[in-house]
Amino acid sequence: MESFYAAKIDAFAKGKISRRALLETLTAAVTTTAAVATPASAAAPDPALKIALVNHISYNCPDFRKAADWYSKVFNLDQIGASKIDVALPFGKRGEKPFGVTANDVPLTSIIIRTRDLNAPAQGGTEPRRKSRALVEHMGYTVADFDREKAKVELKALGVENVRDGGLYSLHMTDAFGYDVQISGIANNALTDGA
Amino acid sequence: MEKFIDNLIRQFESGALGRREFCQMLGIATAVYAAGGAEANAAPASRGFKGLGVNHVSYVCADYTKARDFYSTMFGMQVVNDKGKGRANLAFGPAPDKGGNFLVVHNPGANPPKPSEAVIDHVAYTVSNWDEGKVRGALKARGFDAPTGRNGSLHVYDPYDYDIQICNAVEENAFRREGR
């Protein structure tokens, strides 16, 4: 299909078809091709341990309420089940499925925002949590209707700091605790990122 | 869709988008439209953005190939865009252009990230069709004899001692916390 698109854009560039004709032809091609497209085949799975989706990100910071308010404000997320040390922010409402998921046993992804002692044992353990030699240096989140220039304006209006371009398809910023956050639409994905 | 393509043509005309990128973007748009993504993306947010979920987790370590091999063979993540230049994408979940997540494993860059007061202390992954015996058996077969946690929610460490949680939808679901 991409060769068809290439032929049309070449014809437009050479003045053989008008801009309006190009727009109408491509719109019709995308929507009608999509109507008969078949799903991509799944990657070879590990039968017992195959990952379906991120369940949650465990984000630890000095003041979980402040961070939760930042993420609620920027991503329109509800805060669920606040305790003295943490709160969960799911990407959606009760009963909704994660974006792109059809299975019934894959819950919405959440950010669990915490203020806790990282030297304490991990859940159910007795030994202190190990000191990791790896780092999750930033998190990328997908948002609806991403338009980079409009997003910059919106982020500025929200008071978000250190907003900067992240290539054609995304923006980076820092959250309430200086953590690097990236936002994009689904055009930024495993196939396009780093391609 | 017409508005989206109109914007693409505008970018092509201004030189912001090359011919190859233009065609790739249309290919992605076709796939997204087929998946019903247009409707999902159209949901409005009055202020801020409508967050759809995680796009990717950016994970830095001394040798990305070690992490790449661990996550791909252990959890069935698909290796994408590995050009042997210090990074790879590991895709999982729905197709990449239909809401799938990915883990970017990479070597340290020339510009290390600025220090932050926050840290992602672990990432939890949902395993669909969870079978407690099979999950524990598969972990044991890979040398993880004693994962911590509880049934339906287990913790192990990766080769860089990064805490990984694998879980099912019953034990790890934000809405379980309601009313607690």
d(CA B156, CA B120): 16
Chain B residue nearest residue A72, CA to CA:
B48
Note whether B26 and B56 are same-domain residues.
no
Range of the domain at B160: 121-172
Q: Is the dihedral of CA A130, A135, A136, A138 positive or negative?
A: positive
Block residue for tokens 């600025």: B114
List beta partners, residue A180. A138, A174
Question: Which pair of tokens denotes residue A158?
Answer: 């929200």
List beta partners, residue A51. B127
Chain B residue nearest residue A33, CA to CA:
B30
High-pLDDT (> 70) share of chain B, % = 87
Residue B180 lies in a domain: no
d(CA A65, CA B122): 19
pTM, to two decimals: 0.77
Alpha carbon distances (Å) from B11 to A24, A26, A101, B108: 17, 15, 31, 33
Reduce the DSSP state of residue B16 to 3 states and report it.
coil
Reduce the DSSP state of residue B94 to 3 states and report it.
coil
Residue B46 lies in a domain: no
- Indicate the pLDDT class of residue A189, thresholds 50, 70 and 90: very high
Residue B57 lies in a domain: yes
Q: What is the CA radius of gyration of chain A?
A: 21
For chain B, say whether A149 makes contact (Cβ under 8 Å). no
Block residue for tokens 């000191």: A131
* CATH superfamily of the A137-195 domain: 2,3-Dihydroxybiphenyl 1,2-Dioxygenase, domain 1 (3.10.180.10)
Total domain count for chain B?
3
pLDDT digits (tens, 9 = 90+) for A29-83: 765 554 433 333 333 445 799 999 999 999 999 999 999 999 999 999 999 999 9
Residue B178 lies in a domain: no
Nearest to B118 among A29, A60, A192 (CB): A60
Strands A51-60 and B153-157: unpaired
Note whether B71 and B20 are same-domain residues.
no
CATH code that applies to domain A51-123: 3.30.1900
Residue B97 lies in a domain: yes
